[in-house]
């Protein structure tokens, strides 16, 4: 098995600083509730909020989505919910990757129903080739090709989340 480096640690860190600057600018004078989607977004969330200079509270959530075959919305199973009431709060979801878009489209609807003052999404990666459910990404790290990637929070069978870079997983090589 060989891992080919796709996004280097340097490239990731410099892009994250740029994203944090955009977020600081957009939320100037406001307080922000960041909701990291576990497990994949833990590293992106940690690195991103280190560069924020606005007041931040941090929550984590874990959810699985299932397409039910008959509607395009899918079902959401929340494995771990946030503790805080987000009504009238400015909320930023942080996610590792938007692939088919199913998870984020249903998670976004669920959080929207809780009445936040605003709800935006920061996704580290976006794979446009696989998108089936439209998701608006307000802050995007990188658009990537249709490859299975690992590292920087993303896993293959639970492994490789700890890598500081994003690699392409080539099974059998």
> Using an 8 Å Cβ cutoff, are 33 and 90 in contact?
yes
Which member of 3, 34, 36, 40 binds ligand IMP (CB under 6 A)?
40
Which member of 20, 65, 119, 124 binds ligand IMP (CB under 6 A)?
65
Which member of 20, 35, 154, 163 binds ligand IMP (CB under 6 A)?
154
Residue (119 or 163) nearer to ligand IMP, CB: 163
- Cα separation of the two ends of the chain: 5
Compute the least distance from the CB of residue 64 to ligand IMP, in Å: 9
Residue (40 or 141) nearer to ligand IMP, CB: 40
Q: Which residues pair with 93 in a beta bridge?
A: 35, 121
Q: Please report whether residue 106 would count as binding ligand IMP according to CB under 6 A.
A: no
Residue (27 or 126) nearer to ligand IMP, CB: 126
Q: Please report whether residue 148 would count as binding ligand IMP according to CB under 6 A.
A: yes
The whole-angstrom distance between residue 69's C-alpha and the CA centroid of its chain comes to 25
Q: Please report whether residue 97 would count as binding ligand IMP according to CB under 6 A.
A: yes
Compute the least distance from the CB of residue 59 to ligand IMP, in Å: 17
The one catalytic residue in 99, 110, 146, 155 is 99
By the 10 Å C-beta count (0-12 exposed, 13-18 middle, 19+ buried), 71 is classed as: exposed
Element (H, E) at 80: strand 75-80
Q: Is 164 left (phi over 0), alpha (psi -120 to 50) or beta?
A: alpha
Q: Is 99 a catalytic residue?
A: yes
Q: Please report whether residue 99 would count as binding ligand IMP according to CB under 6 A.
A: yes
Q: Is 131 left (phi over 0), alpha (psi -120 to 50) or beta?
A: beta
Angle between helices 9-26 and 42-50 (to 10 degrees): 60
Residue (89 or 141) nearer to ligand IMP, CB: 141
Chain residues binding ligand IMP by CB under 6 A are 40, 65, 96-103, 148-150, 154
Instruction: Enumerate the active-site residues.
Output: 99
């Amino acid at each position: 098995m060989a891992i080919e480096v796709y996004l280097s640690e340097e490239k990731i860190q410099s892009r994250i600083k740029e994203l944090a600057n955009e977020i600081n600018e957009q939320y100037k004078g406001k307080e922000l509730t960041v909701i990291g989607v576990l497990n994949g977004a833990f590293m992106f969330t940690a690195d991103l909020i280190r560069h924020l200079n606005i007041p931040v509270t941090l929550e984590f959530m874990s959810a699985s989505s299932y397409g039910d075959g008959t509607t395009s919305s899918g079902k959401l199973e929340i494995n771990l919910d946030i503790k805080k009431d987000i009504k009238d709060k400015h909320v930023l979801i942080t996610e590792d990757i938007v692939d088919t878009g199913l998870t984020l489209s249903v998670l976004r609807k669920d959080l929207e129903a809780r009445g936040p003052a605003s709800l935006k999404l920061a996704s580290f990666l976006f794979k446009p080739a696989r998108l089936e459910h439209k998701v608006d990404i307000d802050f995007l790290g990188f658009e990537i090709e249709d490859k299975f990637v690992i590292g920087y929070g993303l896993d293959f069978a639970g492994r490789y989340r700890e890598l500081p870079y994003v690699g392409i997983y080539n099974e059998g090589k």
